[in-house]
Amino acid sequence: MSTGSEVRVAVNQVGDYAFRVEFEGTHLDALITDEPSPLGHDEGPNPSRLLLAAIGNCMAASLLFALRKFRNQPGPIVATIRATPERNASGRWRIPKAEVELRLAEAAASHVQMDRILAQFEEFCIVTQSVREGIAVSARVVDAEGRQLHPPVTP
């Protein structure tokens, strides 16, 4: 990702809880997301799974970057991510924690500077660090006539 480059994603409803996700400004294929039954029809990963995939992918890529930074040539890295949704104090489902296991294809001793790599690789992960710090998300709801419904516009 380039420094300061805006990332744009379009999400359009195509069924009950199914959405087509398009990655604007790229040649990437669209992705269908869906909620599991009983709300959706399991036609694609749901947002919780995408969040966990993003964390695991970013952590694996950050470890790979850190290993290569010190001229190591690692084999394929495997990331496994686990989380258990829980209800918060308001009774809403949340993911309070995620556990990531990153498995190297070779013994640690085959890599140089492993202590330094392990001390810094997580800092390279834009997704995990953004989630850890908390992302400020603002939401606007606009109707078909362009009127802003949420947050209320004060006259």
Residues 35, 78, single domain; the answer is no
- pLDDT for position 68: 98
Residues 40, 63, single domain; the answer is no
Q: Splitting the chain (155 residues) into consecutive groups of 10 residues, what average pLDDT does each group show?
A: 81 97 96 96 97 96 97 97 96 95 95 96 95 89 90 81
Please, is 58 exposed, middle or buried when counting C-beta atoms within 10 Å of its C-beta (0-12, 13-18, 19+)? Answer: buried
Residues 67, 25, single domain; the answer is no
Opening angle at CA 14, ends 9 and 19, nearest 5: 40
| Tokens 């400004």 belong to residue | 25
Asked if the structure places residue 112 within a domain, the reply is yes
- pLDDT for position 153: 79
Asked if the structure places residue 145 within a domain, the reply is no
Give one DSSP letter per residue of 70-112, joined into a string: TT------EEEEE---EE-TTS-EE----EEEEE-SS-GGGST
- pLDDT for position 25: 93
Closest C-alpha to 96, from 124, 123, 125, 131: 131
The residue segments making up the domain with residue 13 are: 1-45
Asked if the structure places residue 154 within a domain, the reply is no
- pLDDT for position 12: 98
Asked if the structure places residue 150 within a domain, the reply is no
Asked if the structure places residue 153 within a domain, the reply is no
pTM of the model: 0.89
- pLDDT for position 2: 53
Residues 54, 127, single domain; the answer is yes
Contacts by residues 92-99 (CB-CB < 8 Å, ≥ 24 positions apart):
95/48, 95/51, 95/52, 98/52, 98/55
Asked if the structure places residue 149 within a domain, the reply is no
**For the chain, how many structural domains are there in total?**
2
Residues 39, 72, single domain; the answer is no
Residues 113, 50, single domain; the answer is yes
Residues 14, 75, single domain; the answer is no
